[in-house]
Amino acid sequence: MHKLLLRQLKRHVGVLDAIPANWRAFIDAVNESYYQADADRALLEHSLELSSQELMERNRQLQQDLAERQHREAALHQAEQERLKLQDEIIHMQAATLEQLSTPLIPISDDILVMPLIGTIDPQRADLAVKSRLAAIEHNRADVVIMDVTGVPLVDTHVGRTLLEAAQAARLLGASTLLVGLRPEVAQTIVGLGLDLSGLVAHADLQSGLHYAMAQRRSKSMR
């Protein structure tokens, strides 16, 4: 008999032998109910324990998934930052390369440099040409810089004045400036703008400019 039922019977009846016979079937049914309740409770506790373990395992898995996701996001963020940094470096390298290509300086000899200018020269490019030329004169200790403007379709006031100022600055560094390849329409534009090119030695093309520069160098070496 179930201990809870047995305790209740002893409290109310006293001696089990004093239980009337017609109560036996009822007591057996109650006793079976007690045992069934114990079984149901044990099953419920077991189910709760399993559910708790499942929830803990699920929570652990979620935490692991979250940590992996955060790690992936951090890796993606770092990769994106590295990509942007590399892109920025490439852009700066390309800009530097374009600057070098837009204002190239070709050493013909130890003291003669040629700067071929091609395409439209905007104020920014004109300023860059001046800086590049002066830096090259100082670095190469050049005596002559030949500016070839054969490929320049247009020269405006700012560009013309910038080139003239560059020639004056080059003269202060001990280098003379030759202007070659000046096309008729560009020459007319310069005259129309009132720019004074008297301080520059001009030649029709690069070949004649080189001959002049070589002759000047020979003449200087013979002195």
pLDDT in tens, 75-113: 999 999 998 898 888 777 756 655 555 567 788 888 899
Write down the pLDDT at residue 10. 61
Q: Which fold has domain 106-222?
A: Transcription Regulator spoIIAA (3.30.750)
Cα separations (Å) of 185 from 31, 119, 154, 190, 203?
121, 15, 8, 9, 15
For residue 178, what are the β-bridge partners? 146, 201
Mean per-residue pLDDT for 134-156?
85
| Residue 33: per-residue pLDDT | 82
**How many angstroms separate the CA atoms of 210 and 14, rounded?**
136
Q: What does the pLDDT read at residue 215?
A: 86
DSSP annotation string for 154-201: ---HHHHHHHHHHHHHHHHTT-EEEEE---HHHHHHHHHTT---TTSE
| Distance between CA atoms of residues 180 and 135, nearest Å | 21
Tell me the sheet residues that pair with 112: 144
Question: What pLDDT band is residue 6 in, cutting at 50, 70 and 90?
Answer: low
Average pLDDT over residues 190-215: 83
Q: pLDDT digits over 12-33, tens only?
A: 566 566 666 666 676 677 778 8
In angstroms, the first-to-last Cα distance of the chain is 137
Measured CA distances, 176 to 138, 172, 203 (Å): 13, 9, 14
3-state secondary structure 77-128: HHHHHHHHHHHHHHHHHHHHHHHHHHCCCEECCCCEEEEEEECCCCHHHHHH
Rounded mean pLDDT, 128-134: 82
- Give the whole-angstrom CA distance, residue 6 versus residue 169: 119
Cβ atoms of 163 and 138 within 8 Å: the answer is: no
Give the pLDDT confidence score for residue 95 in this predicted structure: 60
pLDDT digits (tens, 9 = 90+) for 27-56: 677 778 877 887 888 888 888 887 888 888
**What pLDDT shows up at residue 103?**
62
Average pLDDT, the chain: 79
User: Cα separation of 195 and 192, whole Å?
Assistant: 8
114 vs 121, higher pLDDT? 114
- Residue 58, pLDDT score: 86
